Amino acid sequence: MSERFYAYLSALASSVFYSLNQIFNKRVTLALGTLPALVIVYAFLTLFDFLFCYLFGSFYIKDIGVLLEIVFVSLIGAVAILTLFESFRYLPIGISITLANLSPVFLTLFVFLTTGKFPPLEKLLLIALILFSVFLITFEGKGGKRLAYLLPLVTAVGWAITGLEFFRLLNIHKIDPFGVAFYTSLYMFSVFLAVFLAVSNNKIRLLKKMFRFKKIFLWSLAGGFLTSLGFIFAILSFKWIEVTEAPVIEAIFTLSTPLSALFSYLLLKEKLSLRQTVGIAISFLALFMFFLSG
Which domain range does residue 72 map to? 3-292
pLDDT mean over 25-42: 91
Least confident of 37-41, 86-90, 110-114, 253-257: 110-114
Number of domains in the chain: 1
pLDDT mean over 115-134: 79
How far apart are alpha carbons 103 and 81 in whole angstroms? 13
How far apart are alpha carbons 6 and 214 in whole angstroms? 36
pTM of the model: 0.87
Task: Write the pLDDT tens digit of every residue in 2-19.
Answer: 777 788 888 899 899 999
Task: Write the pLDDT tens digit of every residue in 200-256.
Answer: 777 666 666 666 677 888 999 999 999 999 888 887 777 776 666 666 777 788 888
